[in-house]
Amino acid sequence: MLVAIASIKGSPGVTTLVVGLAAQWPRPRPAVVFECDPAGGDLTARFGLAGAPSLVDVAAEARRGRGVDLERHVQALPGGVALVPAPTAAEQARAALAALDHGGWLPLRQVASRYAVIVDCGRWDGDSPSTGLLRMADVALLVARPEPADVARLHARLPIIGGWSGRVGLVLRAAPGYAAADVSEALSVPVTVTVPDDPRGAAVLSGQATSRRGLSRLPLLRAAGALAIGIANQDCQTPNAAVQRRNAPARVVS
């Protein structure tokens, strides 16, 4: 399974959500994060990781026509989340993405046959080299704030992305603005989940803090877990049952 996550504008928390989903992905299928942000990766700096291996190595192996040996290219985040980080420099990131796109994203397709591949596509526009990922994703999630400007941009972009992916979900950040039901009505797309305001959880997922209690007890991680179960069950639009089972604070609008 391949899940591609992007924003249309700004930084509404795509990378944080990606890490949270991977950390909470239900067994037995393991999850791996691919950082495919054309602006360059953030996770290497956030977590103090080595500069290699990275997405550059995956692209180089793909150019040589070899199958992907995932174990050679992943790094581990605290807690054990498997990550293929993007290089920090935008030029290197875009070059690696262009090479992978030219090859039809074969390495990610291969990995997605065995893993839940959670892809951070960063900010998407029509010229983004991560467009191919959104086109082929089993599930595409757009993260936004419930603000007039974000809703207007989503209104323009959703018909495009909705024509590519088998399933499109909308994730709202809990913030002042429109109610989720109003956003859903305006866009004619169900709001998959509203992510709670959880500074502590966001700090843990960003490498800025550690948790003295189980990750699953943090509100942001509980919401990510409910969403992960919904996606894993191929029921991204209405993960109500999963939310009820985990008693998650995420608000789901059907």
The predicted structure's pLDDT at residue 25: 95
Kindly report, residue by residue over 10-42, the tens digit of the pLDDT.
Answer: 788 999 999 999 999 998 889 999 999 999 999
Instruction: For residue 124, give the amino acid letter.
Output: W
Decide: residue 31, CB within 10 A, 0-12 exposed, 13-18 middle, 19+ buried. buried
The mean pLDDT value of the chain amounts to 84
HSE at residue 24, side-chain half, CA atoms within 13 A, is 29
Q: Inform me whether the pLDDT recorded for 105 exceeds 60.
A: yes
Q: How confident is residue 224, by pLDDT bands cut at 50, 70 and 90?
A: very high
61 Cβ neighbours under 8 A, 6+ residues apart: 68, 69, 73, 107
Q: What's the CA gap between 121 and 128, in Å, rounded?
A: 9
The predicted structure's pLDDT at residue 76: 94
Kindly report, residue by residue over 153-165, the tens digit of the pLDDT.
Answer: 888 888 787 667 6
Is there a contact between 33 and 22 (Cβ–Cβ < 8 Å)?
A: yes
The CATH number of 2-246 is 3.40.50.300
The arithmetic mean of pLDDT across residues 218-231, rounded, is 93
Q: Inform me whether the pLDDT recorded for 66 exceeds 50.
A: yes
The DSSP 8-state label assigned to residue 89 in this structure reads S
Q: What's the CA gap between 233 and 78, in Å, rounded?
A: 26
The predicted structure's pLDDT at residue 254: 21
How is the chain split into domains, by residue range?
A: 2-246
The arithmetic mean of pLDDT across residues 199-226, rounded, is 83
The predicted structure's pLDDT at residue 247: 32
Is there a contact between 6 and 143 (Cβ–Cβ < 8 Å)?
A: yes
Is there a contact between 140 and 1 (Cβ–Cβ < 8 Å)?
A: no
